[in-house]
Structure 1
């Protein structure tokens, strides 16, 4: 499977934008992209990058990288799996799936989650309750991703505060085939920034909804999403 010349693996997202969309500190995301050293009792150790950008010399992330970071955030922040163990588990998954990007494959949603958790368990001896929690969290997280006919992640629905149940309410998405992968209103393809620019200019929510043939709830979602990104 080729990853080098498709829209899903084209550099498109500055690190700062990706970090805001995913609610990840910029410093953390950079460490996943570049790797870093850390002190141990045996001296300085280093871990390899967790995310492989299309071009290491190019600072921007691809859509594929964005989805990978979305999954890694839960693995690291919620389940506290150490980075070197995550790297080893990802290498194992890459061999099993024959791809450098196992976290964005449809197979990861099915048998991949179990394979990943089993591998982590071998590396860090995860408790039975910890295994269950990780499986459930990852499977829930993957409801925010849609795959194309080739089984590759093609659309991502970011989580934001307005949405009470992220598994059900998918109001905004990012899709490399629509508006160059920028956040848009689901079902309309209108960039959230375009909506907010009219609100900032003084238009009412109802007027903007009429302008873009959206529901007022969608306009409010765009406002909330952009406000959350500005505050990040």
Structure 2
């Protein structure tokens, strides 16, 4: 793989393209995760990015010790830009929540010492930002969001309270305490705040313990016909199709390269409707 850049293009037998397409996913620490494009024509573009040094070191360490691949709390998986893209949050808001220039008052955790523009946000912090996004959509003011987050952390006695399973029960009561009215305008109608928060939190999966923390986040912009998740156990946190664990970026790249929806579906073991739904979301976001 490291010698891939020495050749303009490497021919691959057609029978191996599907297997190669699933193995060549690589993590780019600066931009969206990028993937080697493998088409039905059996070619692999020359440039294949190598995983960052910290990823290779942790992978080797975990293999020796038999531990899980990614630490949800401390491994920097996402850049602030990626958080903004995945959660559909304005980028300045993400930097504000991360405490850019004022780390003492940060609402979302980040890994210290990372170069600006590189991955600095762990998975748990991504979930924290998602919960704050829910409060933002409820039209809470910045001061109300900050007060609610601080109260939740104090009540649950953990700095990661926003990513705790208790947020879906006791946390909602705390959030409601910080609003003037428990009815919120959503679209053309008034809806109970509890109902709207429940709707947001159902996209989070938790571990089995009583005070369990988030293990998986489903991206709301993708429809039920093609659920897309972020699970730190797969693809270093890159969005993947829940059913097959295929990286979304790989699907979009192959379609963007000119392949038909049916060809992309065949390459990655997806249905026509799944590929179409994923590409439609990508086109709307472009």
TM-score by length of 2: 0.65
- The structure richer in helix per residue is 1
Q: Deviations over 1:73-128 (max 9, x none)?
A: 2212x33322233222212211211211212111111222113322x14xxxx124
Q: Give 2:138's aligned residue.
A: 79
Unaligned runs of 5+ in 2: 1-69, 185-189
- Mapped to 1, the partners of 2:100 and 2:249 lie a distance apart of 32
Residues in 2 aligned to 1:107 and 1:86: alpha-carbon distance in whole angstroms: 17
Give 1:96-115 correspondences, 5 Å limit.
96-115=155-174
Contact 2:152–2:174 at 8 Å: present in 1 too?
Answer: yes
Matched, 1:188 2:244: yes
2:124 to 64, 73, 87: 64
Q: Is 2:98 the counterpart of 1:33?
A: yes
Residue matched to 1:23: 88
Mapped contact 1:7–1:177 kept (Cα < 8 A)? no
Structure 2 CA distance for aligned equivalents of residues 100 and 29 of structure 1: 18
Secondary structure of 1:146's counterpart equals: strand
Unpaired runs of at least 5, structure 1: 38-46
Distance 1:190 1:115, change over 3 A: same
1:11 equivalenced with 2:76 (yes/no): yes
Which residue matches 1:53?
A: 110
**Correspondence for 2:227:** 171
* 15 and 228 in structure 1: CA distance in 2 versus 1, 3 angstrom threshold: farther
> Matched residues in 2 for 1:170 and 1:201: separation?
21
Cα–Cα, structure 1 residues 58 and 75, in superposed 2: closer, same or farther, change >3 Å?
Answer: farther
Q: State the secondary structure of the residue aligned to 1:34.
A: coil
Q: Aligned equivalents of 2:182 and 2:171: distance in 1?
A: 18
1:155 aligned residue = 216
Q: Structure 1: how far apart are the matches of 2:234 and 2:115?
A: 22
The reply to whether residue 204 of structure 1 matches residue 260 of structure 2 is: yes
More moved, 137-146 vs 126-135: 126-135
Q: Structure 1-normalised TM-score?
A: 0.79
Give 1:40's aligned residue: none
Which contiguous aligned blocks of 4+ residues in structure 1 show a shift greater than 4 angstroms? Answer: 56-59
Conserved? CA contact 1:196–1:222, under 8 Å: yes
Aligned residue pairs total 207
SS in 1 for 2:98: helix
CA distance 1:170–1:114, change in 2 (3 Å) = farther
